[in-house]
Amino acid sequence: MNGRTWVYADPHFYHKNIVKFTNYDGSPLRPWDDAEQMTEDMISWYNQLVDDGDRVYILGDVAFTVAHMKSAVSRLKGRKCLIPGNHDPKKLKSYIDLFDDVRGYVQRSGFIMSHIPIHPGSMGRWKVNIHGHLHNNSVKQGLYLDGKLTASEPMGFTTEFDDSRYVCVSVERTNFRPKLLSKVLEEAGVT
């Protein structure tokens, strides 16, 4: 079966508190008030894009409980590879049958996929780390001089910017839908 390849991270299906989370500016992290409705919408949007022959790398934080994991994942199309997140159930044997494969990370030529971003000191082997975990946040990089962060802004602010080696594909960054891996790599400049 040849199909498309997708990435998807941090759906947090049925997570009642995530609908209350906010961004740093106080705006809602997600546009739902109800976790059940959020879950149903995201499953529907996922299945509108993904076909049964497609491969989907799910980069963790699918659901907190085995029952919620089974309820949601059993309705998702595609051949699914899970990279477990810190909020997924710990007893893998309870839900392993829902996935075609389970890995700690996936590495390919030029990039690595993980749930939590890998340490910058480990990035020498890859151009890009495709990850989840950070939701609407990003891995930052600063300007350094002699090992110290420089304060190069006029008011003494530290200059920080998004580290382009890291691509967060948490659902908040992908309109709550899976994203084609080829599109992620193209946007990141990895060919």
Q: What is the pLDDT of residues 7-38, one digit of tens each?
A: 999 999 999 999 999 988 899 989 999 999 99
Mean pLDDT throughout 85-112? Answer: 92
Tally of CA atoms within 13 A in the half-sphere of 113 that contains its CB? 25
Beta bridge partners of 9: 170
Candidates 113, 85, 133, 102; CA nearest to 6 is: 113
pTM of the full predicted structure? 0.88
Sequence length of the chain is 191
Q: Which two tokens stand for residue 51?
A: 């076909």
Beta bridge partners of 102: 82
89 falls in which pLDDT band (50, 70, 90)? confident
DSSP SS3 for 95? coil
DSSP SS3 for 164? coil
Q: Which domains does the chain have, with CATH numbers?
A: 5-188 (3.60.21.10)
Mean pLDDT throughout 128-153? Answer: 70
Q: Is 142's pLDDT higher than 70? A: no
Q: What pLDDT shows up at residue 157?
A: 47
* Percentage of residues in the chain having pLDDT higher than 90: 68
Q: Is 156's pLDDT higher than 60? A: no
Candidates 180, 176, 141, 15; CA nearest to 86 is: 15
Q: Is 132's pLDDT higher than 50? A: yes
Do 83 and 105 touch, CB atoms closer than 8 A? yes
Q: What pLDDT shows up at residue 106?
A: 95
Do 11 and 171 touch, CB atoms closer than 8 A? yes
**Better-scored residue on pLDDT, 100 or 163:** 100
Report the mean per-residue pLDDT for the chain.
Answer: 89
